[in-house]
Amino acid sequence: MAQPGTTMPAMTKQMQDCIEACMNCHSVCEETMSSCMQQGGQAQMQIMRALMDCSETTRMCADMMMRRSPMSGEMCAMCAKACDMAAEACMSMPDDQQLMRCADACRRCAEMCRAMAGARM
């Protein structure tokens, strides 16, 4: 961690890619929640809960990485878990194109976050 008055270390390509994956996943989850709300139904409510958790977690994870929080690694691990859960929930309706698009974004983000969780920030 940088001392007060010193510059932060440069953001790595891995961090930049992970932030981008988080922000993309957040956006796709938000779009998918809107789609689910239009469709309604009990199954959609279970998916919505997972999408809400994923959306909020990915946004927070990206924010924490951008400001180089010392808790970024732990947040990335939690974010990967939320993304995995959202992807699994989306896969429960394989005929819905929006849900499949969301599952893909969630899986990509989970993979990137797992890598960052093990990396030195």
Q: What is the DSSP string of the chain?
A: -PPTTSPPPPPPHHHHHHHHHHHHHHHHHHHHHHHHHHH--HHHHHHHHHHHHHHHHHHHHHHHHHTT-TTHHHHHHHHHHHHHHHHHHHTT-TT-HHHHHHHHHHHHHHHHHHHHHTS--
Q: What is the pLDDT of residue 5?
A: 57
Q: Using an 8 Å Cβ cutoff, are 106 and 25 in contact?
A: yes
Q: What is the pLDDT of residue 109?
A: 98
Identity of residue 44: Q
The one-digit pLDDT tens for each residue of the chain (121 residues) are: 445 555 666 789 999 999 999 999 999 999 999 988 887 776 678 899 999 999 999 999 999 999 999 999 999 999 999 999 999 999 999 999 999 999 999 999 999 999 999 876 5
Q: What is the pLDDT of residue 1?
A: 45
Identity of residue 101: R
Q: What is the pLDDT of residue 66?
A: 94
Q: What is the pLDDT of residue 11?
A: 84
Q: What is the pLDDT of residue 99?
A: 95
Given its phi and psi angles, is residue 41 left (phi above 0), alpha (psi -120 to 50 degrees) or beta? left
